Amino acid sequence: MIALLKKEINGFLSSLIGYIVIFVFLIAMGMFMWIFPGDTNILDNGYANIDTLFVMGPWVFMFLVPAVTMRLFAEEKRLGTIELLFTQPISDTGIILAKYFAGLLLIVFSLVPTLVYFGTVYLMGNPAGNLDIGGMWGSYVGLLFLGAGFVAIGVFCSSITDNQIISFVVAIFLCFFCYTGFDSISGLSLFGGFDAVIVNLGIQEHYLSMSRGVLDTRDILYFLSLITVFLLFTKTVLDSRKW
């Protein structure tokens, strides 16, 4: 598993994919935080915080994560190397986890440089350091869990097709639906008093809770369950080749 994980990471970093993802994420966040006028602009709103990163991060990840994951299995299928991959001395679960953690590590790599934004805002405070550091770290954990959930969705989408574009589009749709879809559906009168239950099925409710800096066990269990479900879906799809 470790060897496959290293191979996937090297595949990302030896091509432009990994660097483009990290660069686009940092530039997009930088534009919203420092350039574009409005409530997201730190200089305009006059408060020393990096809430913009945690507000806009999910929407940027919604496109970047599928771009990272779309090739993981789809490319193997297109090239006809997937059968060779599954003949290696590693379990199917190990292969799925190796590809999953490779995608997740790239997301982590994209988040680490944003600490520069934190350092800048930290120094801009009046006085310097007038920042809710505990809440910020909680928000980072929330964004990391959200990215981890999106990666699991992307891995599943890559497993169902040999076309990277289809994988990319389906992953964007599922990420979008899982993030905001349940919240929208809960507003329908059709579900009556079950609206609170439906809202809690979506990612947004749990992410917003964590982005306030509150690490509730229920939110963590939700994300772990989401990741597990989509990785199990992936295993089911890959196991279907044996039927």
Q: What is the model's pLDDT at position 160?
A: 93
- H-assigned helices in the chain: 2-13, 16-30, 42-45, 51-69, 74-79, 82-85, 92-111, 115-124, 133-159, 164-176, 182-185, 195-199, 203-211, 217-239
DSSP string covering 6-26, please?
Answer: HHHHHHHHTSHHHHHHHHHHH
Cα gap 50→40, rounded to integer Å: 9
Residue 202's CB is within 10 A of a number of other CB atoms, namely: 21
Query: Residues 193-222: what's their mean pLDDT?
Result: 83
Torsion of CA 82, 84, 87, 93, to 10 degrees: -20
pLDDT in tens, 88-117: 788 888 889 999 999 999 889 888 888 888
pLDDT range class, residue 7, cuts 50, 70, 90: confident
Q: Report whether pLDDT(179) > 60.
A: yes
pTM, two decimal places: 0.90
Q: What is the model's pLDDT at position 170?
A: 96
pLDDT in tens, 198-208: 888 889 888 98
Whole-number percent of the chain with pLDDT over 90:
30
Is the CB of residue 123 less than 8 Å from the CB of residue 42? no
Q: Report whether pLDDT(59) > 70.
A: yes
Of residues 195 and 198, the one with the higher pLDDT is: 198
Q: What is the average pLDDT value for the chain, to the nearest integer?
A: 83
pLDDT range class, residue 195, cuts 50, 70, 90: confident
Burial 91-108 (b: 16+ CB within 10 A, else e): eeeebbbbbbbbbbbbbe
Extract the tokens encoding 155. 């891995």
Q: Report whether pLDDT(243) > 60.
A: no
Q: What is the model's pLDDT at position 5?
A: 80
Residue 120, classed as helix, strand or coil, is: helix
